[in-house]
Chain A
Amino acid sequence: MPFIKKPRTLKPLGAVSIGTGERAVKIGGGNTLPLYFFDAKLSNPPAVGVELTDTAWDAAELPLLAKAYEGAATLAERVACAANMKGVDFVCLRLEGADPGGDNLSVEECVKLAQEAAAACTKPLCIAGCRSEEKDVELFKALAAALQGQNVLFLSAKEEDYKTIGAATVLAYGHKVAGESSVDINLAKQLNVLMTQLGIPKESIVMNLGGAAVGYGFEYVSSTMDRVKAAALEQDDAMLQMPVITQVATETWAVKESMASQADMPEWGDLEQRGIQMETVTAAACLASGSDAVILRHPVAVDKIAALVAALI
């Protein structure tokens, strides 16, 4: 007896477009379970973003990463390099320098940096803050005005600050916003409900469900995404149909596997190779669980993940 393939038709998810004109990229909008492109014709592949910070990477033991930014002296030049990397769909600029506990750049300085970056960026832009709640609110307000018309995605608004950030970025200037919740389907849904009640259209909201490196509580991340996708696609839950974006790099480059020098862990071998595999394996696991966009750091990971997505279509 031959194998009987059952038809699986699901409703398409919401899509959020970032950037403008020909360079715009659509995140989400697929109509299959994650990566199940064999189930249906119409589908939208996940997008791959590359992140960089205004304070350059410490690439002492990462020659391949350093090479990708070789010769780039200013932030604008580094952004241009990032945008041109093979496989990149969008660029994520993290304004780490704004951190009050770090360089504590002023909002004006950050605006200037972001404007230079935006001008040099040939791909849609996503902007992440410095993880200081007060500073990020101020930063996003000023950046949203300065980058008007560029359809930027801001990472992220939380339950505590979605009102100010949502109003300043989406309602006032038509940008897009990611709602950040902590690895919990109910919290994610609640934030979407609150943001839509504020008047933010569904089409302007991306979900940042939280992330972890593989081996570090990743089972919660993957199960949360499994459940979100099941609710969105199989139970038609409109408040969970927003696309999912995951910051992979910030998680994977902060664990021992990607940090311990070869001198410290001789048996582990080359540090850069470890970092690349940690990032690639985590990114692939996120895509299989339901990320519609992943943000990575290393050019090799970006290239290989983008090529893998293409091979799966």
Chain B
Amino acid sequence: MALKGLDIFKLTPKTNCKECNQPTCMAFAMKVASGAIALTDCPHMSAAALDKFASATEPPMKTIDIGAGECAYKLGGETVLLRHDKTLVNSNLYGICISADMPDAAIEAALTEMTKIDYERIGKRMYVECVYVKCNSDAVRSAEVAVKAVASGRVPVLDCADPDIAKSVLGAIKEAKPVLCGANAANWEAMNAVAKAADAVLGVSGADLNELHDTVEKLEAAGNKKLILDVGSVSIKDAFANAVEIRRAALKDGDRTFGYPSIVNLAALAPGDLVTQAALASIFTLRYGSIILMERIGYAEALPLFGLRQNIYTDPQKPMRVTPGLYPIGGANENSVCCLTVDFALSYFIVSGEIERSRVPVNLLIPDAGGYSVLTAWAAGKLSASSIAKFIQEFEIDTKIKNHTLILPGKVAVLKGDLEAKLPDWKIVVGPNEAIQLVKFLSTIN
């Protein structure tokens, strides 16, 4: 939120002493407003004025750092409610839940299932980022379980409302820069002291939004601005309403008290029901969950949720593209067949993955198709017989590749006739509609 020149002028001592190398305080204020110089260039600014400036120019939602080393993440920092308004900057995180009450075998099983999920999607590593540890009244056991969470290489999120136990568990894992959830209207002072001593982000909850608002204000007054807000687990309806109200208040109504990332515990909202938890995770991915926790996450849950998140947290101004060209896959050479796809990163990623899986060497041809999917490019006139022929000519595919078999995506089978006319010395073959069918298809073509 930018301050106007006049507002900044009111903060200066108005003595025109020129120590800032500006002719007057007014000129100085104007330059600060335009961003050309910093407020601190004036040596006479009072502490109160600096404070006022800092809070007026603060972004509506704070960016909170959690985790350490390779598992360090940023949460929050959003400026818009919907991605098309600008772009969403810090993607939400997913986590699974374990508890100090669980037997070791169950904990191992949950962590093993979670660590199995580790794959690449459009050039990004997909895995579960957080492990939520519900502590119990046994500090030693709780710490032991928290250490297991850290050992799994994920950010630990502790749930513990007892300041003494929290202190001793944090003592065991504080290098991991965990989140400590459990501050509320009753214990906030003690919890604040524990979190601050361990430099942990503090998770705050409240019986309702009023109580939560109150507690956050108290924590801020006590100097803590590293917070995460729990949307609560009273009911699905309540949790969703709270997530929306909190984010909307911060970004739309300028309520900075609620300008923090959120945490949603779906294991508590729909215990034992992984399908409902996945549906809720989907809704909270779109609507304002920052850390989204589920009982378990297997491939069935990860595949759709990570795909959704990757879609939503892309910059709407920049489609994800790959560079047009000739991409030999699986050790392809001049005698290998050619497959054609588009320069939309997702299409390339899917098709190249299936070709690799087929173990058939293939020369993948990628013309400039405007960065669109096969059918979008075709409908937009960016993938046509002429554009393909032009690509073959420009990239000298004719001379580089001796095997003149070209497999088209099934969705643009209509291009076959025109292409045959344009590329008479090529054999045009219509491939299947979906890339997944390529494995079988390629095994028959050789």
Residues of A within 8 A of B (CB): 1-6, 35-38, 182, 213-219, 222-223, 226-227, 230, 254-257, 259-260, 264, 267-270, 273-274, 276-278, 280-285, 287-289, 300-301, 304-305, 307-308, 311-313
Is the pair B283, A274 in contact by a Cβ cutoff of 8 Å? no
B244 touches A280 (CB 8 A): no
Complex Cα spacing A219 to B312, Å: 5
Contact of B434 among A254, A264, A308 (CB under 8 A): A254
> Quick one: which of A3, A4, A270 has the most chain B CB within 10 A?
A3
Cβ B314 vs Cβ A219 within 8 A: yes
Instruction: State whether A277 and B275 are in contact (beta carbons under 8 Å apart), knowing that A3-B209, A35-B283, A268-B299 are contacts in the complex.
Output: yes
Q: Which of A217, A226, A268 lies in contact with B303, CB distance below 8 A?
A: A268
Asked whether B307 lies within 8 Å of A1 as measured between CB atoms, the reply is no
Q: Name the residue on B nearest A229 (C-beta).
A: B82
Interface contact A278-B316, CB-CB below 8 Å: no
What are 23 A-B contacts with C-beta separation under 8 Å? A1-B257, A2-B214, A5-B245, A36-B244, A213-B307, A214-B305, A214-B307, A215-B346, A216-B307, A217-B373, A219-B312, A222-B311, A277-B301, A278-B304, A280-B278, A281-B279, A281-B281, A285-B285, A285-B308, A289-B286, A304-B276, A308-B276, A311-B237
Q: In terms of DSSP, what is the predominant structure of the interface of chain B?
A: helix
| Alpha-carbon separation in the docked complex, A305 to B281 (Å) | 13
Asked if A256 and B278 sit within 8 Å, CB to CB, the answer is no
Measured between beta carbons, the chain B residues less than 8 angstroms from A312 are 236-237, 240
B residues 62-115 near A (Cβ < 8 Å) are 82-84
Shortest distance between the CB of A233 and any CB in chain B (Å):
13
Chain B 225-261 against A: per-residue CB contact (8 Å), 1 yes, 0 no?
0000000000111001100110001000101011000
Asked if residues A304 and B275 are in contact (CB atoms below 8 Å), the reply is: yes
CB contact under 8 A between A288 and B287, given known A3-B249, A223-B84, A259-B436: yes
Query: In whole Å, how far is B273's beta carbon from the nearest beta carbon of chain A?
Result: 8
A280 touches B275 (CB 8 A): yes
CB distance from A174 to the nearest CB of B (A): 33
**Min CB distance, A284 to chain B, in Å?**
4
> Would B308 and A37 count as touching, CB distance under 8 A?
no
Q: Which residues of B contact A280 (CB under 8 A)?
A: 275, 278-279, 282, 304
- Give the distance in Å from the alpha carbon of A282 to the alpha carbon of B213 in the complex: 33
Q: When A267-B299, A308-B236 are in contact, do A256 and B350 touch as well, CB less than 8 Å?
A: yes
Report the minimum CB–CB distance from A271 to chain B (whole Å): 9
> CA A244 – CA B350 in complex, angstroms?
30
Q: Which of A5, A182, A227, A284 is B379 in contact with, Cβ under 8 Å?
A: A182
Which residues of the partner chain A approach B235 to less than 8 Å between Cβ atoms? 311
Quote the shortest CB–CB distance from A204 to chain B (angstroms): 28
Check if B435 is an interface residue, CB within 8 A of chain A: yes
Asked if B310 is at the interface (CB within 8 A of a chain A CB), the reply is: yes
Q: In the complex, what's the smallest C-beta–C-beta distance from A11 to chain B, in angstroms?
A: 19
- Report chain A residues within 8 Å CB of B214: 1-2
Q: Cα distance A55–B50 when bound, in Å?
A: 72
Whose C-beta in chain A lies nearest to the C-beta of B433? A254
Q: Provided the pairs A276-B275, A288-B283 are in contact, do residues A256 and B435 lie with their beta carbons within 8 angstroms?
A: yes
CB atoms of B278 and A215 under 8 A apart: no
| Pairwise interchain contact B300-A274, C-beta atoms closer than 8 A | yes
Contact A227 B84 (CB under 8 A): yes
**Chain B residues within 8 Å of A282, by CB:** 282, 304, 308
User: Could you tell me the distance in whole angstroms from the C-beta of A64 to the nearest C-beta in chain B?
Assistant: 11
Nearest CB on A from B430, distance (A): 12
Q: Could you tell me the distance between the alpha carbons of A223 and B319 in the complex, rounded to whole angstroms?
A: 14
A277 touches B245 (CB 8 A): no
* With contact pairs A1-B213, A1-B217, A285-B286 given, residues A215 and B308 touching in the complex (Cβ less than 8 Å): yes
Asked if residues A284 and B282 are in contact (CB atoms below 8 Å), the reply is: yes
What separation, in Å, do the CA atoms of A4 and B253 have in the docked complex? Answer: 10
Q: Is B298 an interface residue (CB 8 A)?
A: yes
Q: How far is the CA of A219 from the CA of B282 in the complex (A)?
A: 13
7 new A-B contacts, CB < 8 A, other than A215-B310, A280-B275, A308-B280, are A214-B282, A216-B311, A222-B312, A226-B82, A257-B307, A277-B301, A284-B282
